[in-house]
């Protein structure tokens, strides 16, 4: 097990061309067409609201996956993990898309709010004169005032973006400078980032998603959203690694690394269910009308099948499929579970957003599919462009040698 | 035929020991077991060990825990003494989940622990069975069944070639009883 007895090409760079590029561009075009259709042609009676709800869903999903990339990086640095050193460029590419995702989300949120298509339940001008019956009063009204709300969005997403870009920059400086100084800086900034991220993501999800149903509240909601973000981010990272390997890149990443990513997905799917159920059980048990309204809406006949499907996809299938060691080490099984869970968390976000916006008028059709495809294409295009800019491995990462010999 | 039961090759360096394993395997000497003071990556594959079946035991114990939890609550709250708690029906499934979950964990963890103890002969008051005490300290030891491989000179020379610093011919399997 001597040093440098490997045959990997560490200057290898991803070439973003061919099918990957054309398909992601086609998906973006489909998305643009779907948005135009949603606003202009859709016969649905609340077509603008429907389009905005879908834009919020995918904008939030997109931002969450990118933020999960930054969180993955920070977590590996703070844990001083060695196993992941060889695949860190993938979450780095995710993190470097975060500023763009943040801008997209802020634009969607602001436009939806100001055109009264989103956050109707607390937007003050909507309830003029009706305060007390429908309006939000007291300290909640202060918290959910338009300027404070938008400032919070910008500040939170701005901070996450700055840290994401910094962590990626340290790693690229490390490639040219070598030494430990960039690693030490990454460690320090990661620790600061994790503290900020941990305290602000719940508030961020309260703002972006929970305030769609502003009269309802749950303190578990932030962790529930964090779990969804982390699982979907891990699935996206794993899927990207698998697809890169299939195209002949990342020769230094092997079954052992994928096994670890599979364990992450398995464990955090259970964590997602744990948090989901913790929220459900307490509301169900206490049976207070102002809390049960959330699940009452989701128990209506038009949502009930999706409510159950959400649990089947996001809990039962990863638990049963990924339980054995062999399943986590088989690329085909892992690919299937990653795609299933990425769809599953779309459904999870759908179940969070639609009952509060579209209520019983929700549907599933061209707008939903088109916008989802459009954002998937946008993410793939931006992320793969970023990935192609740098070598696929941080060659001066101090734990790279450990990652090459990772064996479990 | 000698009274030697086991031949133990002592190594100071894990790489030498791995080399020794290769040498013995090349010469069709069956290795009984290998004892090391620290875990060595890849040694299970080299010795051709099957994967531990402990996860299967854990799964069975876990399922048992779930069923025990479920039937216990069902008997208590639904069959034996139905009670009105907060207006919920007696057979209120969400209530069952935390208890079934906890009992699954309890049964799986204790079950795994006792299975492990049973498989390794760990009981209170039982002297541990150790073939050479220095394997827990600073020596990497290959044990060879001398009765099954009745050519001690060849084994000695193979171990010496691989860099063994000490070779013991033990007439007893375990030294730790003494």
Specify the pLDDT at position A130.
Answer: 46
A381-390 average pLDDT score:
95
Between B66 and B147, name the one with better pLDDT: B66
Q: Report the percent of chain A where pLDDT is more than 90.
A: 82
Q: Compute the count of residue pairs across chains A and B with CB atoms less than 8 Å apart.
A: 20
CB-based contact, A287 to chain B, within 8 Å: yes
With CB atoms and an 8 Å threshold, state whether B42 touches A285: no
B78: left (phi over 0), alpha (psi -120 to 50) or beta: alpha
| pLDDT over threshold 80, residue A278 | yes
User: Which residue, among B8, B99, B119, B104, has the nearest Cα to B53 in the 3D structure?
Assistant: B119
Please give, rounded to a whole number of angstroms, the shortest distance from the CA of A319 to a CA of chain B.
Answer: 12
**What is the maximum span of chain A, computed from C-alpha positions, in angstroms?**
77
* Range in A2-6, A19-23, A184-188, A271-275 the model is least confident about: A2-6
* Range in A196-200, A266-270, A286-290 the model is least confident about: A286-290
A166-170 average pLDDT score:
95
Cβ-in-10-Å burial (0-12, 13-18, 19+) of A78 comes to: middle
Interface probe for B, chosen from A285, A288, A405 (most Cβ of B below 10 Å), is A285
- Chain B residue with minimum CA distance to A407: B41
pTM of the model: 0.90
| pLDDT over threshold 70, residue A195 | yes
Residues carrying CATH 3.30.70, chain B: 6-49+129-170
Tens digits of residue pLDDT in B100-155:
999 999 999 999 999 999 988 888 888 888 888 888 889 999 999 988 888 888 99
Q: State the residue for tokens 């500023």.
A: A99
| pLDDT over threshold 50, residue A2 | no
- Provide the CATH topology of domain B6-49+129-170: Alpha-Beta Plaits (3.30.70)
* Range in A1-15, B31-45, B46-60, B122-136 the model is least confident about: A1-15
Tens digits of residue pLDDT in A94-141:
999 999 999 999 999 999 999 989 988 888 765 554 444 456 778 888
Pull the structure tokens for residue A250.
Answer: 């990342």
Specify the pLDDT at position A162.
Answer: 97
CB-based contact, A285 to chain B, within 8 Å: yes
Specify the pLDDT at position A24.
Answer: 96
Please give, rounded to a whole number of angstroms, the shortest distance from the CA of B33 to a CA of chain A.
Answer: 21
Asked whether B46 and B18 are in contact (CB, 8 A), the reply is yes
- Chain B residue with minimum CA distance to A270: B101
Nearest 10 degrees: CA dihedral of B94, B99, B104, B110?
Answer: 170
With CB atoms and an 8 Å threshold, state whether B97 touches A280: no
Mean pLDDT of chain A: 92
For residue B41, the chain A residues in CB contact (below 8 A) are: 405, 407
CA A128 → CA A109, A137, A328, B79, distances in Å? 22, 12, 56, 55
Tens digits of residue pLDDT in B70-110:
999 999 999 999 988 888 888 999 999 999 999 999 999 99
With CB atoms and an 8 Å threshold, state whether B94 touches A287: no
């Amino acid at each position: 097990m001597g040093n440098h007895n490997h045959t990997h090409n560490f200057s290898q760079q991803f070439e973003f061309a061919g099918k990957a590029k054309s398909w992601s561009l086609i998906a973006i075009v489909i998305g643009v067409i779907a948005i135009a259709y949603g606003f202009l042609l859709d016969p649905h009676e609340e077509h603008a609201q429907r389009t905005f709800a879908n834009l919020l869903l995918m904008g939030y999903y997109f931002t969450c996956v990118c933020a999960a990339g930054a969180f993955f990086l920070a977590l590996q640095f703070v844990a001083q993990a060695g196993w992941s050193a060889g695949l860190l460029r993938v979450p780095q590419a995710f993190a470097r898309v975060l500023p763009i995702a943040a801008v997209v989300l802020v634009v969607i949120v602001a436009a939806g709010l100001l055109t009264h298509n989103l956050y109707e339940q607390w937007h003050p001008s909507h309830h003029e004169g009706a305060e007390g019956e429908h309006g939000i009063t007291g300290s909640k009204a202060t918290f959910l005032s338009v300027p404070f709300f938008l400032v919070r969005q910008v500040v939170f997403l701005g901070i996450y973006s700055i840290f994401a870009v910094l962590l990626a920059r340290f790693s690229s400086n490390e490639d040219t400078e070598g030494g430990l100084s960039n690693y030490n800086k990454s460690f320090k900034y990661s620790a600061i980032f994790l503290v900020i991220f941990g305290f602000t993501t719940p508030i961020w999800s309260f703002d972006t998603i929970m305030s769609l149903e502003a009269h309802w509240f749950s303190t578990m909601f932030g962790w529930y959203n964090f779990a969804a973000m982390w699982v979907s981010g891990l699935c996206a990272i794993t899927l990207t690694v698998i697809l890169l390997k299939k195209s002949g890149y990342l020769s230094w990443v092997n079954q052992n690394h994928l096994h670890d990513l599979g364990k992450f997905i398995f464990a955090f799917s259970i964590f997602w269910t744990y948090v989901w159920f913790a929220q459900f059980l307490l509301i169900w048990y206490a049976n207070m009308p102002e809390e049960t309204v959330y699940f009452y809406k989701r128990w209506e006949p038009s949502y009930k099948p999706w409510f159950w499907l959400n649990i089947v996809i996001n809990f039962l299938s990863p638990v049963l499929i990924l339980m054995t060691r062999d399943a986590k080490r088989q690329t085909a099984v892992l690919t299937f579970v990653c795609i299933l869970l990425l769809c599953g968390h779309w459904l999870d976000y759908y179940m969070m957003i639609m009952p509060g916006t579209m209520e019983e008028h929700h549907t599933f059709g061209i707008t939903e599919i088109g916008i989802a495809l459009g954002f998937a294409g946008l993410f793939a295009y931006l992320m793969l462009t970023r990935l192609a800019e740098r070598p696929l491995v941080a060659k001066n990462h101090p734990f790279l040698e450990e990652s090459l010999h990772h064996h479990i | 035929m000698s009274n030697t039961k086991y031949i133990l090759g002592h190594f100071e360096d894990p790489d030498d020991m791995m080399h020794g394993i290769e040498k013995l395997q090349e010469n069709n000497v069956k290795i009984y077991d290998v004892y090391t003071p620290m875990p060595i990556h890849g040694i299970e594959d080299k010795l051709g060990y099957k994967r531990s079946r402990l996860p299967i035991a854990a799964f069975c114990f876990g399922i048992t825990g779930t069923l025990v939890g479920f039937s216990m609550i069902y008997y208590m709250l639904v069959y034996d003494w139905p009670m009105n708690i907060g207006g919920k029906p007696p057979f209120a499934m969400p209530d069952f989940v935390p208890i079934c979950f906890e009992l699954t964990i309890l049964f799986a963890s204790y079950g795994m622990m006792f299975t492990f103890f049973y498989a390794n002969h760990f009981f209170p008051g039982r002297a541990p069975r150790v073939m050479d005490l220095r394997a827990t300290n600073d020596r990497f030891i290959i044990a060879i069944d001398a009765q099954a491989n009745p050519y001690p000179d060849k084994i000695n020379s193979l171990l010496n070639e691989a860099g063994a610093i000490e070779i013991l011919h033990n007439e007893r399997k375990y030294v730790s009883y003494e």
